[in-house]
């Protein structure tokens, strides 16, 4: 089946530093990848949709200069949280979209827990 990996699984960083999270589709090519954020006891909130080779589409309220997304290849998308603050601490999950006839199926990565101190 389709497998999506994320790295790192857990990261602790200091306020003001930047953190890069990688999302890879291991056994398939994903033209579209999605980045979500999940706060404790909340649902997944879509941050941005990333298409290979083009600029990401950000959801309302998500700062594109703070959350830099690069989707340079069909198997890799990265999310960089720039100048991280404690309020950016969250669980970040990516998913990769695969066309299956009538619809996308989205396969989720295992998530990255970011803690900003």
Partner 1 sequence: EDKVVQSPLSLVVHEGDTVTLNCSYEVTNFRSLLWYKQEKKAPTFLFMLTSSGIEKKSGRLSSILDKKELFSILNITATQTGDSAVYLCAVEALGSGGSNYKLTFGKGTLLTVNP
Instruction: Give residues in contact with partner 1 (CB under 8 A).
Output: 32, 34, 42-46, 49, 51, 57, 93, 97, 102-111
Query: Among residues 80 and 106, whose Cβ is nearest to partner 1?
Result: 106
* Phi, psi dihedrals of residue 40, rounded to the nearest 5°: -55, 130
Q: Closest separation between CB of residue 106 and partner 1, Å?
A: 6
Cβ proximity to partner 1: between 38 and 82 the closer is 38
**114 bridge partner residues:** 11, 90
Which residues make Cβ contacts (< 8 Å) with residue 55, sequence separation at least 6? none
Nearest distance from C-beta of residue 84 to partner 1, angstroms: 21
């Amino acid at each position: 089946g389709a497998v999506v990996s994320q790295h790192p699984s857990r990261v602790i960083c200091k306020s003001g530093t930047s953190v890069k999270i990688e999302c890879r589709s291991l056994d398939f090519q994903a033209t579209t990848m999605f980045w979500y954020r999940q706060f404790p006891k909340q649902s997944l909130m879509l941050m941005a949709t990333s298409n290979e080779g083009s600029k990401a589409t950000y959801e309302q309220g998500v700062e594109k200069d703070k959350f830099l997304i690069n989707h340079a290849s069909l198997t890799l998308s990265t999310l960089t949280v720039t100048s991280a603050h404690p309020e950016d601490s969250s669980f970040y999950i990516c998913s990769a979209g695969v066309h299956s006839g009538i619809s996308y199926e989205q396969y989720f990565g295992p998530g990255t827990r970011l803690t900003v101190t």
